[in-house]
Amino acid sequence: MLTSAKYKVQICCGTMCYIMGGAELHLLNECLPEGLKDKVSIEGSACFGKCNTDEKKHPCVLINGQELNNASTQKIIKQLLTLENNDLL
């Protein structure tokens, strides 16, 4: 993981997020487009505390501090590409 990465992806490692799909999100680096691989750091994080709500938000991810709920590899990549495209404007 790079410390100078442009985008920081934090994956909730709480039990509910982990069993609701978070375990697969740790393989995100293998799915990133080549243009993003050197710009993204991926790390596990303690529970974000979203399990205490009635809403089904699992798994939870933070991208540069912004919450992404019901995260999937595809949703994360789409958000990263949107951020990258906005940065290029």
- pLDDT score recorded for residue 57: 82
Residue-range definition of the domain harbouring residue 44: 7-88
Q: Spell out the per-residue pLDDT of the chain, length 89, in tens.
A: 444 679 999 999 998 898 999 999 989 999 999 999 999 999 999 988 877 666 778 899 999 999 999 999 999 999 999 999 887 76
2 in a structural domain: no
Res 8: pLDDT: 96
3-state secondary structure of 80: helix
Q: Which residues pair with 32 in a beta bridge?
A: none
pLDDT value for 54? 64
Q: What is the DSSP string of 27-45?
A: THHHHS-HHHHTTEEEEEE
Count of domains observed in the chain: 1
Q: Is residue 40 part of a domain?
A: yes
Among residues 32, 30, 19, 20, the alpha carbon closest in space to that of 63 is found at 32
pLDDT of res. 3? 47
